[in-house]
Amino acid sequence: MRTKQVLAGLFLSRFDKAGLRALGFSSFTEAFNAIGFALGARPASIKNYRDEFDPIYSSKRKGWHRRPTRDHCKAASDQYADMSLKEFTALLKSLIYDRGSLDVITEEAEAEQGKESSFAKRLITGQAAEKYFEVVHPTLPTLSDYALENVTDIGCGFDFRLRKSGLDDFLAVEVKGLNDTRGTISLTEKEHRVAGLLSQRFYLFVVRNFREKPFHTIYCDPLKSDLMFTRQETQITHVNWRVTV
């Protein structure tokens, strides 16, 4: 875990704004928040590691200039000194994504298909928002008594199943992330259908404002809340490549 945080700080210090652009972030604060939560760390930890390297790489920020660079940080700086922006970007993405290089390939494939996809967007709308929920879950009055299970990869129409010992019933939580305090979120057809079926056992958890300081809003039975969902249909063209063998 510490190695990933160190390399994130090294990347942001060494490549500065070019590094932000390569990852799809608009500011360092946004990068600290998204990367920090995605790694299950405090955003301040990512900032501190960037500051650790700033005396070496930054001409604008002083960073932790009043003390020597710590040995493990100096070793990382030496090890990756010759790595290009493109190479380091690919490495960092593979280290931060939950599924490593598989998520990197998915991101690249979506971009080639013309879909809006970037490292920053994928973290904020998915991984970072989900890790944020895991962190704050024990503090949520209506949900803290339930054991948490991440079921994102099962494709059941929600991200987390919450259960109490000895009970068959469960609560479902779908997590969405927003870059700003307000924005548009979408439910897939399956998520919308499951939300209707589970009714008051379905929670929509929205993490807002990764750009500055994340906070959250919880909606129980969102289809019957004050949220006004509108149906949107999209026609998709599927392309297949065929060959006779």
Q: What is the CATH number of the domain that holds 152?
A: 3.40.1350
Is 198 contained in some domain? yes
Give yes or no: residues 159 and 82 share one domain: no
Residue 220 lies inside a defined structural domain of this protein? yes
Q: Note the pTM of the prediction, 2 decimals.
A: 0.87
Q: Is residue 169 part of a domain?
A: yes
Q: Give the single-character DSSP code of 70.
A: P
In a domain, 190, yes or no: yes
Report the alpha-carbon distance of residue 114 to residue 60 in Å, rounded.
37
pLDDT in tens, the chain (245 residues): 789 999 999 999 999 999 999 999 999 999 999 999 999 999 999 999 999 999 888 777 877 777 888 999 999 999 999 999 999 999 999 999 988 888 888 888 777 776 666 888 888 989 999 999 999 999 999 899 999 999 998 989 999 999 987 777 899 999 999 999 999 999 999 999 999 999 999 999 999 999 999 999 999 999 999 999 999 888 777 788 888 88
Q: Using N-to-C axis directions, what is the helix angle for 43-57 and 28-38, rounded to 10°?
A: 130
Number of Cα atoms under 13 Å in the Cβ half of residue 129: 30
Residues 67 and 167 in one domain: no
Q: In sequence order, which residues have a C-beta less than 8 Å from that of residue 15 and are 6 or more positions away?
A: 22, 85, 88
**Residue 23 is part of which domain span?**
2-114
Does 240 map to a domain? Answer: no
> Are 205 and 220 spatial neighbours (Cβ–Cβ below 8 Å)?
no
How many domains does the chain divide into? 2
